[in-house]
Copies of this chain bind each other. A is one copy, B any other.
Amino acid sequence: MLRQEGFDLVLLQEVWSERDYSDLKAKLGGCYPFSHYFRSGVIGSGLCVFSRFPILDTLLYQYSLNGYPYMLQHGDWFCGKSVGLVVIKISGIVFNVYVTHLHAEYCREKDAYLPHRLVQAWELAQFIRHTSKAADVVLLGGDLNMHPEDVGIRLLRGWTGLRDAFAEATRFEGCEDGCTLIPNNCFTVKTELLPFPLGIRIDYILYKAVSSFTVKCEELKTTTGTAPGMDIPFSDHEAVMATLHIRRQGQAADGNLGTAEPTLVDVVTEARTEVGVGLRAAQRQRYSTGRMAVLALLLLLLQATLGTLAGLAAGQPFPKLSFSLLAFFAIGILLLATGLHLFHTIEVKMLQGTEEQLRMALRTLQEHPSDG
């Protein structure tokens, strides 16, 4: 399909295996002579870009928080979730193209990962703002794992000024409401989509013009379930395809921030509250894992003392089986609790850092409501 459609640019997520990327590269080389694979984490970032135009430069930013290593069943932590940037130039217009994949949402009612996803959304917004200042056009595509009304996407859009191709498109063709995770896809988990009979829209193409250009989304399309001539779909998510019309204009476009600052203040405040909730949870976990490590250490010391005393008394050089098992158990708990304590220490630091940055952003917005 990628070969048939002949896009200018293809942004893929969840290409975990580098061999898959190499296969794609070999098969797509004819239509997309330029490509880049972003490496990170144990498994990888899963991000790659195929382009008809030369890739001039790349940069990878790895999010500072990305779930928990012990949530093996979710596995996000091992993926090294990141945002990748490729710079391309088409007809003299500089495009900063960002591809990303944020932390998944496994339970919308009790979303333990919301603070992490918000930190990611904030870091994504900051990374785009700081790196796109010389670009003419900014494009962001990817699986943001956020519904259109979620605080994270409002923060990202408000803070960067990026516009949603789905909302702006002149023509639309595809799944109802632009949904990209739909129930009648054989790879989706049906129970998770029960509250959303049409599905949910969590994959986006966002854009903005930075300098004296305008961008308009002429057409937006999504794939709709099964691939033509096959009985399985292309992927568990529907692909999003946008046709963008870019025009040079005399006048400079809007500033970096969105236009409605009073709303942005509310969004940043809301995000800060959620990050604060996550911070307090992380502080509790840091405390309880630290306490567990101390208890395990005390148990070990107690055992060592008792063991030495018993050994001296009975002339027996080695404690009994149950005794040594208990010691190993204590060592195991000590190591585990110490590791978790270190992890939650990092988590606390990063959440504090983000909360402080959001506070700074709020101050900037309130002091300079017009220029941000």
Looking across the interface, which residue of chain B has its beta carbon closest to that of A321?
B321
Q: How far is the CA of A328 from the CA of B335 in the complex (A)?
A: 14
1/0 per position for A340-372, CB-CB distance to B under 8 A? 001001100110110001001000100000000
A side interface size, CB within 8 A = 41
Q: How far is the CA of A163 from the CA of B59 in the complex (A)?
A: 23
- Each complex incorporates copies of this chain amounting to 2
Residues in chain B near residue A342, CB distance under 8 A: 42, 78
1/0 per position for A30-44, CB-CB distance to B under 8 A? 000000001111101
A131 in complex: contacting residue of B55, B131, B320, CB < 8 Å: B131
Show 14 A/B contacts (Cβ-Cβ < 8 Å), sorted by A.
A40-B346, A42-B342, A42-B345, A42-B346, A55-B360, A56-B364, A57-B129, A58-B360, A59-B126, A59-B127, A59-B130, A78-B342, A130-B131, A321-B321
Looking across the interface, which residue of chain B has its beta carbon closest to that of A325?
B324
A346 in complex: contacting residue of B41, B133, B320, B328, CB < 8 Å: B41
Residues in chain B near residue A129, CB distance under 8 A: 57
**With an 8 A cutoff between CB atoms, is A278 at the interface?**
no
Asked if A39 and B130 make an inter-chain contact with CB atoms under 8 angstroms apart, the answer reads no
1/0 per position for A136-155, CB-CB distance to B under 8 A? 00000000000000000000
Residues in chain B near residue A346, CB distance under 8 A: 40-42, 80
Residues in chain B near residue A38, CB distance under 8 A: 353
Asked if A352 and B64 make an inter-chain contact with CB atoms under 8 angstroms apart, the answer reads no
Question: Which has the most chain B C-beta neighbours within 10 Å: A64, A130, A133?
Answer: A130
Q: Considering the complex, which residues of chain A in the window 119-134 have a beta carbon less than 8 Å from any beta carbon of chain B?
A: 126-127, 129-131, 133-134
